[in-house]
Protein backbone atom coordinates (compact mmCIF):
# COMPACT_ATOMS: atom_id res chain seq x y z
CA UNK A 1 0.00 0.00 0.00
CA UNK A 2 1.29 3.47 -0.82
CA UNK A 3 1.45 5.65 2.32
CA UNK A 4 -0.43 8.95 2.19
CA UNK A 5 1.86 11.96 1.89
CA UNK A 6 0.87 15.48 2.91
CA UNK A 7 2.95 18.11 1.15
CA UNK A 8 3.04 21.42 3.02
CA UNK A 9 5.44 23.72 1.24
CA UNK A 10 8.62 21.66 1.22
CA UNK A 11 7.65 19.70 4.32
CA UNK A 12 6.50 16.17 3.58
CA UNK A 13 4.33 14.41 6.15
CA UNK A 14 3.70 10.67 6.17
CA UNK A 15 0.78 10.40 8.67
CA UNK A 16 0.64 6.59 8.70
CA UNK A 17 4.37 6.34 9.43
CA UNK A 18 4.40 9.29 11.84
CA UNK A 19 7.32 10.79 9.89
CA UNK A 20 7.80 14.40 8.85
CA UNK A 21 10.56 15.30 6.41
CA UNK A 22 11.51 18.93 6.68
CA UNK A 23 12.51 21.50 4.10
CA UNK A 24 16.28 20.91 4.00
CA UNK A 25 15.95 17.12 3.81
CA UNK A 26 13.26 17.37 1.11
CA UNK A 27 15.50 19.67 -0.96
CA UNK A 28 18.47 17.32 -0.50
CA UNK A 29 16.37 14.32 -1.60
CA UNK A 30 15.11 16.19 -4.68
CA UNK A 31 18.67 17.31 -5.60
CA UNK A 32 20.20 13.85 -5.25
CA UNK A 33 17.32 12.32 -7.20
CA UNK A 34 17.55 14.84 -10.05
CA UNK A 35 21.34 14.56 -10.32
CA UNK A 36 20.98 10.78 -10.48
CA UNK A 37 18.45 11.01 -13.28
CA UNK A 38 20.67 13.51 -15.18
CA UNK A 39 23.64 11.19 -14.76
CA UNK A 40 21.86 8.61 -16.92
CA UNK A 41 22.08 10.56 -20.17
CA UNK A 42 25.27 9.96 -22.16
CA UNK A 43 26.14 13.67 -22.45
CA UNK A 44 26.65 13.75 -18.70
CA UNK A 45 28.80 10.67 -18.66
CA UNK A 46 31.05 12.27 -21.28
CA UNK A 47 32.54 14.86 -18.95
CA UNK A 48 31.61 18.49 -18.55
CA UNK A 49 29.16 18.61 -21.38
CA UNK A 50 26.03 19.52 -19.45
CA UNK A 51 24.13 22.51 -20.88
CA UNK A 52 25.81 25.50 -19.29
CA UNK A 53 23.85 28.72 -18.91
CA UNK A 54 26.79 30.73 -17.58
CA UNK A 55 29.29 30.24 -20.35
CA UNK A 56 27.95 31.93 -23.52
CA UNK A 57 29.63 31.05 -26.81
CA UNK A 58 27.63 33.23 -29.21
CA UNK A 59 26.32 36.81 -29.44
CA UNK A 60 22.70 35.98 -28.51
CA UNK A 61 23.70 34.02 -25.42
CA UNK A 62 26.07 36.86 -24.47
CA UNK A 63 23.23 39.44 -24.61
CA UNK A 64 21.10 37.16 -22.44
CA UNK A 65 23.97 36.70 -19.99
CA UNK A 66 24.48 40.51 -19.76
CA UNK A 67 20.82 41.25 -19.04
CA UNK A 68 20.78 38.35 -16.55
CA UNK A 69 23.59 39.90 -14.48
CA UNK A 70 22.08 43.42 -14.72
CA UNK A 71 18.73 42.11 -13.40
CA UNK A 72 20.47 40.06 -10.69
CA UNK A 73 22.48 43.20 -9.74
CA UNK A 74 19.40 45.42 -9.45
CA UNK A 75 17.57 42.73 -7.44
CA UNK A 76 20.61 42.27 -5.18
CA UNK A 77 20.67 46.01 -4.38
CA UNK A 78 16.94 45.92 -3.54
CA UNK A 79 17.41 42.78 -1.41
CA UNK A 80 20.31 44.47 0.40
CA UNK A 81 18.35 47.66 1.09
CA UNK A 82 15.17 45.89 2.23
CA UNK A 83 17.08 43.27 4.24
CA UNK A 84 19.28 45.79 6.07
CA UNK A 85 16.34 48.08 6.84
CA UNK A 86 14.32 45.12 8.08
CA UNK A 87 17.08 43.91 10.43
CA UNK A 88 17.81 47.45 11.59
CA UNK A 89 14.12 48.09 12.41
CA UNK A 90 13.74 44.72 14.15
CA UNK A 91 16.66 45.66 16.40
CA UNK A 92 15.73 49.29 16.91
CA UNK A 93 12.00 48.88 17.59
CA UNK A 94 12.15 45.58 19.50
CA UNK A 95 10.01 45.17 22.61
CA UNK A 96 11.98 46.34 25.63
CA UNK A 97 11.33 45.05 29.17
CA UNK A 98 9.05 47.28 31.17
CA UNK A 99 7.87 49.29 28.17
CA UNK A 100 4.17 48.64 27.67
CA UNK A 101 3.37 51.89 25.91
CA UNK A 102 1.53 51.91 22.56
CA UNK A 103 3.74 52.92 19.55
CA UNK A 104 2.70 56.14 17.75
CA UNK A 105 -0.22 55.46 15.35
CA UNK A 106 0.34 57.16 11.99
CA UNK A 107 -2.55 57.70 9.55
CA UNK A 108 -1.75 58.91 6.04
CA UNK A 109 1.62 60.17 4.95
CA UNK A 110 2.00 61.58 1.48
CA UNK A 111 5.80 61.15 1.56
CA UNK A 112 5.66 57.46 2.49
CA UNK A 113 2.83 56.70 0.04
CA UNK A 114 4.76 58.37 -2.78
CA UNK A 115 7.99 56.62 -1.85
CA UNK A 116 6.53 53.12 -1.88
CA UNK A 117 4.59 53.75 -5.06
CA UNK A 118 7.30 55.47 -7.07
CA UNK A 119 10.30 53.35 -6.06
CA UNK A 120 8.80 50.03 -7.28
CA UNK A 121 7.28 51.74 -10.33
CA UNK A 122 10.65 53.15 -11.38
CA UNK A 123 12.42 49.85 -10.69
CA UNK A 124 9.93 47.81 -12.71
CA UNK A 125 10.02 50.36 -15.55
CA UNK A 126 13.82 50.25 -15.64
CA UNK A 127 13.80 46.42 -15.70
CA UNK A 128 11.14 46.42 -18.45
CA UNK A 129 13.10 48.89 -20.62
CA UNK A 130 16.33 46.88 -20.27
CA UNK A 131 14.61 43.56 -21.02
CA UNK A 132 12.64 44.94 -24.00
CA UNK A 133 15.85 46.46 -25.43
CA UNK A 134 17.53 43.05 -25.21
CA UNK A 135 14.53 41.29 -26.80
CA UNK A 136 14.60 43.77 -29.70
CA UNK A 137 18.34 43.12 -30.12
CA UNK A 138 17.78 39.35 -30.11
CA UNK A 139 14.98 39.58 -32.67
CA UNK A 140 17.06 41.68 -35.07
CA UNK A 141 18.57 40.10 -38.15
CA UNK A 142 21.93 38.37 -37.79
CA UNK A 143 24.98 40.55 -38.50
CA UNK A 144 26.00 38.88 -41.75
CA UNK A 145 24.40 37.65 -44.92
CA UNK A 146 26.68 34.60 -45.09
CA UNK A 147 24.03 32.62 -43.28
CA UNK A 148 22.88 29.03 -43.58
CA UNK A 149 19.27 28.10 -43.08
CA UNK A 150 18.04 25.10 -41.14
CA UNK A 151 14.43 24.05 -40.67
CA UNK A 152 14.04 22.50 -37.21
CA UNK A 153 10.92 20.41 -36.66
CA UNK A 154 10.16 19.15 -33.16
CA UNK A 155 8.68 15.63 -33.01
CA UNK A 156 7.75 13.43 -30.05
CA UNK A 157 10.69 12.92 -29.14
CA UNK A 158 13.37 13.91 -31.59
CA UNK A 159 14.44 16.80 -33.78
CA UNK A 160 14.17 16.83 -37.55
CA UNK A 161 16.85 19.06 -39.12
CA UNK A 162 16.37 20.03 -42.73
CA UNK A 163 19.02 22.03 -44.63
CA UNK A 164 16.88 23.50 -47.46
CA UNK A 165 19.82 25.15 -49.27
CA UNK A 166 21.52 21.78 -49.63
CA UNK A 167 18.44 19.55 -49.94
CA UNK A 168 19.03 17.00 -47.19
CA UNK A 169 17.49 16.13 -43.84
CA UNK A 170 19.14 14.75 -40.76
CA UNK A 171 18.17 14.46 -37.09
CA UNK A 172 19.09 15.58 -33.59
CA UNK A 173 22.65 16.68 -34.35
CA UNK A 174 22.92 20.14 -35.86
CA UNK A 175 26.24 20.71 -37.61
CA UNK A 176 27.26 24.35 -38.15
CA UNK A 177 30.41 26.11 -39.36
CA UNK A 178 32.44 28.11 -36.83
CA UNK A 179 32.36 31.91 -37.09
CA UNK A 180 35.69 33.64 -37.64
CA UNK A 181 36.55 36.97 -35.97
CA UNK A 182 36.16 38.86 -39.26
CA UNK A 183 33.45 36.67 -40.78
CA UNK A 184 30.32 35.85 -38.80
CA UNK A 185 28.49 32.71 -39.93
CA UNK A 186 25.06 32.89 -38.36
CA UNK A 187 22.57 30.08 -38.85
CA UNK A 188 18.92 30.97 -39.32
CA UNK A 189 16.64 28.45 -37.65
CA UNK A 190 13.04 28.09 -38.75
CA UNK A 191 11.26 26.33 -35.90
CA UNK A 192 8.19 24.19 -36.41
CA UNK A 193 6.44 21.27 -34.78
CA UNK A 194 4.95 18.09 -36.19
CA UNK A 195 2.78 17.32 -33.17
CA UNK A 196 2.76 19.21 -29.85
CA UNK A 197 4.63 22.26 -28.53
CA UNK A 198 8.38 21.83 -28.06
CA UNK A 199 11.04 24.41 -27.32
CA UNK A 200 14.51 24.55 -28.87
CA UNK A 201 17.12 25.54 -26.31
CA UNK A 202 20.89 25.47 -26.55
CA UNK A 203 21.83 27.69 -23.60
CA UNK A 204 25.42 28.45 -24.66
CA UNK A 205 24.20 29.78 -28.02
CA UNK A 206 20.81 31.43 -27.50
CA UNK A 207 17.60 31.53 -25.50
CA UNK A 208 14.59 29.27 -25.87
CA UNK A 209 12.25 29.49 -28.85
CA UNK A 210 9.07 27.46 -28.98
CA UNK A 211 8.19 25.06 -31.78
CA UNK A 212 4.42 25.40 -32.12
CA UNK A 213 2.16 23.28 -34.38
CA UNK A 214 0.85 25.31 -37.33
CA UNK A 215 3.26 28.18 -36.82
CA UNK A 216 6.82 29.00 -37.88
CA UNK A 217 9.08 30.74 -35.40
CA UNK A 218 12.59 31.82 -36.09
CA UNK A 219 15.85 32.51 -34.32
CA UNK A 220 19.53 32.55 -35.20
CA UNK A 221 22.60 31.10 -33.59
CA UNK A 222 26.28 31.66 -34.10
CA UNK A 223 29.29 30.11 -32.39
CA UNK A 224 32.82 31.45 -32.21
CA UNK A 225 34.68 28.32 -31.18
CA UNK A 226 34.56 24.80 -32.57
CA UNK A 227 32.94 22.65 -29.90
CA UNK A 228 29.85 20.59 -29.18
CA UNK A 229 27.05 22.57 -27.59
CA UNK A 230 24.35 20.63 -25.80
CA UNK A 231 20.74 21.62 -25.57
CA UNK A 232 17.37 20.16 -24.79
CA UNK A 233 13.67 20.54 -25.35
CA UNK A 234 12.46 23.19 -22.91
CA UNK A 235 8.69 22.74 -23.16
CA UNK A 236 6.98 19.71 -21.65
CA UNK A 237 5.91 17.60 -24.60
CA UNK A 238 5.03 14.18 -23.17
CA UNK A 239 6.62 11.10 -21.63
CA UNK A 240 10.08 11.46 -23.14
CA UNK A 241 10.35 15.26 -22.99
CA UNK A 242 13.48 14.93 -20.84
CA UNK A 243 15.13 12.68 -23.44
CA UNK A 244 14.89 15.08 -26.33
CA UNK A 245 18.45 16.30 -26.42
CA UNK A 246 20.03 18.51 -29.05
CA UNK A 247 23.68 18.46 -30.07
CA UNK A 248 25.14 21.38 -31.99
CA UNK A 249 28.48 20.40 -33.48
CA UNK A 250 30.36 23.53 -34.46
CA UNK A 251 33.18 22.62 -36.85
CA UNK A 252 35.67 24.37 -39.16
CA UNK A 253 34.40 25.55 -42.55
CA UNK A 254 36.41 22.82 -44.28
CA UNK A 255 34.90 20.09 -42.08
CA UNK A 256 31.44 21.60 -42.55
CA UNK A 257 31.80 21.54 -46.35
CA UNK A 258 32.97 17.95 -46.20
CA UNK A 259 30.03 17.02 -43.97
CA UNK A 260 27.56 18.77 -46.33
CA UNK A 261 29.01 16.94 -49.35
CA UNK A 262 28.56 13.61 -47.58
CA UNK A 263 24.99 14.43 -46.44
CA UNK A 264 23.96 15.52 -49.95
CA UNK A 265 24.96 12.16 -51.43
CA UNK A 266 22.47 9.28 -51.60
CA UNK A 267 22.92 6.41 -49.18
CA UNK A 268 25.81 4.07 -49.89
CA UNK A 269 24.64 0.93 -51.62
CA UNK A 270 26.72 -1.88 -50.22
CA UNK A 271 25.87 -5.29 -51.64
CA UNK A 272 27.41 -7.11 -48.68
CA UNK A 273 24.42 -5.93 -46.60
CA UNK A 274 21.76 -6.49 -49.28
CA UNK A 275 19.95 -9.04 -47.08
CA UNK A 276 19.54 -6.45 -44.30
CA UNK A 277 18.40 -3.81 -46.79
CA UNK A 278 15.75 -6.22 -48.11
CA UNK A 279 14.50 -6.93 -44.58
CA UNK A 280 14.34 -3.17 -43.91
CA UNK A 281 12.24 -2.63 -47.05
CA UNK A 282 9.96 -5.62 -46.36
CA UNK A 283 9.22 -4.61 -42.79
CA UNK A 284 7.29 -1.46 -41.83
CA UNK A 285 10.62 0.39 -41.28
CA UNK A 286 10.46 2.07 -44.67
CA UNK A 287 7.02 3.56 -43.97
CA UNK A 288 8.45 5.80 -41.25
CA UNK A 289 12.09 6.32 -42.23
CA UNK A 290 13.62 7.75 -45.37
CA UNK A 291 16.86 6.49 -46.89
CA UNK A 292 17.65 8.52 -50.00
CA UNK A 293 18.51 6.39 -52.99
CA UNK A 294 16.16 3.60 -51.88
CA UNK A 295 12.39 3.10 -51.83
CA UNK A 296 12.24 4.13 -48.18
CA UNK A 297 10.69 7.61 -48.03
CA UNK A 298 8.81 7.73 -44.72
CA UNK A 299 8.71 11.02 -42.86
CA UNK A 300 7.40 9.99 -39.45
CA UNK A 301 10.80 9.00 -38.04
CA UNK A 302 14.32 10.31 -38.54
CA UNK A 303 15.96 10.24 -41.97
CA UNK A 304 18.51 7.41 -41.91
CA UNK A 305 20.39 8.17 -45.16
CA UNK A 306 23.62 8.90 -43.27
CA UNK A 307 22.70 7.46 -39.90
CA UNK A 308 26.28 6.51 -39.05
CA UNK A 309 27.47 10.11 -39.43
CA UNK A 310 25.61 10.79 -36.17
CA UNK A 311 27.20 10.13 -32.80
CA UNK A 312 24.03 9.26 -30.92
CA UNK A 313 20.63 7.67 -31.46
CA UNK A 314 17.23 8.28 -29.78
CA UNK A 315 17.83 12.04 -29.66
CA UNK A 316 21.10 11.95 -27.73
CA UNK A 317 20.01 9.16 -25.42
CA UNK A 318 22.55 6.51 -26.42
CA UNK A 319 25.78 6.30 -28.40
CA UNK A 320 25.26 5.25 -31.99
CA UNK A 321 26.91 1.82 -32.06
CA UNK A 322 26.04 -1.79 -32.85
CA UNK A 323 25.07 -2.64 -29.29
CA UNK A 324 22.65 0.28 -28.85
CA UNK A 325 21.17 -0.06 -32.33
CA UNK A 326 20.48 -3.71 -31.58
CA UNK A 327 18.82 -2.85 -28.27
CA UNK A 328 16.82 -0.07 -29.89
CA UNK A 329 15.46 -2.15 -32.76
CA UNK A 330 14.77 -5.27 -30.71
CA UNK A 331 12.86 -3.48 -27.97
CA UNK A 332 12.45 0.29 -28.45
CA UNK A 333 10.52 0.65 -25.21
CA UNK A 334 13.47 -0.61 -23.16
CA UNK A 335 15.62 2.28 -24.24
CA UNK A 336 12.94 4.97 -24.53
CA UNK A 337 9.72 4.16 -22.72
CA UNK A 338 6.61 5.20 -24.60
CA UNK A 339 8.52 6.07 -27.78
CA UNK A 340 6.66 6.21 -31.07
CA UNK A 341 8.72 3.47 -32.75
CA UNK A 342 6.72 0.25 -32.45
CA UNK A 343 8.22 -3.04 -31.34
CA UNK A 344 8.27 -4.97 -34.63
CA UNK A 345 8.92 -8.27 -32.81
CA UNK A 346 11.82 -9.01 -35.12
CA UNK A 347 13.66 -12.29 -34.79
CA UNK A 348 17.26 -12.13 -33.63
CA UNK A 349 18.72 -12.94 -37.10
CA UNK A 350 16.53 -10.21 -38.65
CA UNK A 351 17.71 -7.66 -36.08
CA UNK A 352 21.31 -8.55 -36.89
CA UNK A 353 20.75 -8.21 -40.65
CA UNK A 354 19.03 -4.83 -40.27
CA UNK A 355 21.70 -3.54 -37.87
CA UNK A 356 24.39 -4.62 -40.36
CA UNK A 357 22.59 -2.63 -43.02
CA UNK A 358 22.20 0.45 -40.78
CA UNK A 359 25.88 0.33 -39.85
CA UNK A 360 26.70 0.65 -43.57
CA UNK A 361 24.86 3.99 -43.84
CA UNK A 362 27.92 6.18 -43.34
CU1 LIG B 1 9.88 18.23 -26.90
CU2 LIG B 1 9.74 18.69 -24.60
CA distances to 24, 68, 202, 226, 252 from 57, in Å:
35, 15, 10, 10, 15
- Per-residue pLDDT, 76: 96
Residue 13's H or E segment, with its range, is: strand 11-14
- Per-residue pLDDT, 125: 96
CA of 253 to the centre of ligand 1 (A): 31
CA of 12 to the centre of ligand 1 (A): 30
The full set of domains in the chain, from first to last, is 148-224+232-242 (2.60.40.420), 271-359 (2.60.40.420)
User: What 3-state class would DSSP assign to 187?
Assistant: strand
CA–CA separation, 85 and 224 (whole Å): 46
Series of mean pLDDT values for 10-residue runs along the chain (362 residues): 61 68 66 59 48 86 93 95 95 88 85 92 95 89 76 94 93 93 88 95 93 94 91 92 92 94 89 87 87 87 91 89 90 87 87 90 88
Which residues have CB under 6 Å of ligand 1?
154, 157, 198, 233, 235-237, 241, 244
Q: CA 76 from chain center: how many Å?
A: 28
CA–CA separation, 39 and 23 (whole Å): 24
- Per-residue pLDDT, 336: 86
- Per-residue pLDDT, 10: 60
Task: Ligand 1, residue 198: give the atom nearest the CA.
Answer: 1
- Per-residue pLDDT, 73: 95
Whose CA is closest to 339, among 199, 245, 243?
243
Strand ranges for 39-172 from DSSP E: 148-155, 158-163, 168-171
CB count in 10 Å sphere of residue 162? 18
CB 304 within 8 A of CB 361: yes
Task: Ligand 1, residue 242: give the atom nearest the CA.
Answer: 2
Contacts of 31 (CB under 8 A, 6+ apart): none
CA of 19 to the centre of ligand 1 (A): 37
Task: Ligand 1, residue 244: give the atom nearest the CA.
Answer: 1
CA–CA separation, 167 and 119 (whole Å): 56
The region that residue 18 occupies, defined by phi over 0 for left and psi between -120 and 50 for alpha, beta otherwise, is: left
Which residue's alpha carbon is nearest to atom 1 within ligand 1? 198
User: How crowded is the C-beta side of 346, counted as CA atoms within 13 Å?
Assistant: 25
CA of 244 to the centre of ligand 1 (A): 6
What are the counts of helices (DSSP H) followed by strands (DSSP E) for the chain? 10, 15
Give the percent of the chain with pLDDT over 90: 48
pTM score above 0.85: no
CB 319 within 8 A of CB 255: no
pLDDT digits (tens, 9 = 90+) for 280-297: 888 888 889 988 888 888
Amino acid sequence: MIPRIHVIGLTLRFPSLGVTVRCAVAIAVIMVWSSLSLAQSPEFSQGNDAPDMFNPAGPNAESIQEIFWVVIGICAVILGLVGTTLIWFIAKYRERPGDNSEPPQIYGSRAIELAWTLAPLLTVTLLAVLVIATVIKLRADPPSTAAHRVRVVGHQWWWELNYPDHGFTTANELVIPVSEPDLAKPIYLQLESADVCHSFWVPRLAGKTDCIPGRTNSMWIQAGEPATYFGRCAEYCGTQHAKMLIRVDCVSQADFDKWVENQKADAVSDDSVAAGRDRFMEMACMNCHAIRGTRAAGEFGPDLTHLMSRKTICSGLALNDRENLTRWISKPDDLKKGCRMPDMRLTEPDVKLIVDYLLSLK
